[in-house]
Structure formats: C-alpha cells, structure tokens
C-alpha cells in the first residue's frame, strides 16, 4: 500500500498522515497513534497495523504487512472482520464493499 492509502477506514487516516505524525510526535507507545485523527478508535481493524507501524518506527528495518498488501486486499480483509462481528464502524466510516458472490 502506498502512502496515500487509508489505514483507518473509520476516520479516513492514511499511511502518510500516520508516518508524518510518527515523525513529528514520536509517540512512545502505539496507542498514542489514536491522537492522529482518531486512528484505531473505530471498529478496531487497523489496531494491529498501527502497532506494526509504531514498531517499525521505533525498531526500524522490519517490513509491515501494509507494505505487502494491496489496498483492495486490505479493504477485503477489513470487510470480513466487520462482517464476522468483530468490530462496528462509526457513522461516516468508509462503507464496506459489496460481498463477493452476493
């Protein structure tokens, strides 16, 4: 996923916004990334990815899952997560894509 791709679909937070926030604010713990536009405080899907971005910034080197996934795959996996009842997007979140085969 490139820097303009959304990581938090609930609050429309992109990788670029998160990267800039991490660079400027130097959050001590991953949960402080929620201060970047509310990332991670909606359905919860993006929390593991926020943790990966934080770990990469702190420890360096490591490639995150986000860098290996296409935006379409990320969106599809988020939709499956929400449809499985694991999170509820707030009003105004990016709508889920249509279900495949339905």
pLDDT digit string, tens, across residues 61-102: 788 999 999 999 999 999 999 999 999 999 999 999 988 765
Parallel/antiparallel/unpaired status of strands 13-14 and 6-8? antiparallel
State residue 15's pLDDT score. Answer: 96
Which pLDDT belongs to residue 95? 95
Q: What is the pLDDT of residue 102?
A: 55
Tens of pLDDT, residue by residue over 12-53, are: 999 999 999 999 999 999 999 999 999 999 999 999 999 999
Rounded to an integer, what distance in angstroms lies between the CA atom of residue 88 and that of residue 64? 25
Between CA 13 and CA 47 the distance in angstroms is 12
Tell me, what's the pLDDT at 34?
A: 98
Task: Give how far the C-alpha of residue 96 lies from the chain's centroid of Cα atoms, to the nearest Å.
Answer: 15
């Amino acid at each position: 996923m490139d820097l303009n791709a959304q990581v938090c679909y609930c609050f429309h937070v992109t990788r670029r916004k998160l990267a800039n926030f991490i660079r400027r604010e130097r959050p001590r713990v991953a949960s402080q990334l929620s201060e970047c536009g509310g990332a991670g405080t909606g359905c919860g899907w993006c929390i593991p990815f926020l943790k990966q971005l934080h770990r990469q910034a702190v420890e360096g080197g490591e490639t995150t899952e986000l860098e290996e996934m296409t935006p379409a795959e990320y969106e599809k996996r988020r939709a499956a997560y929400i449809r499985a009842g694991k999170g509820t997007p707030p009003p105004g979140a990016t709508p889920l894509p249509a279900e495949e085969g339905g």
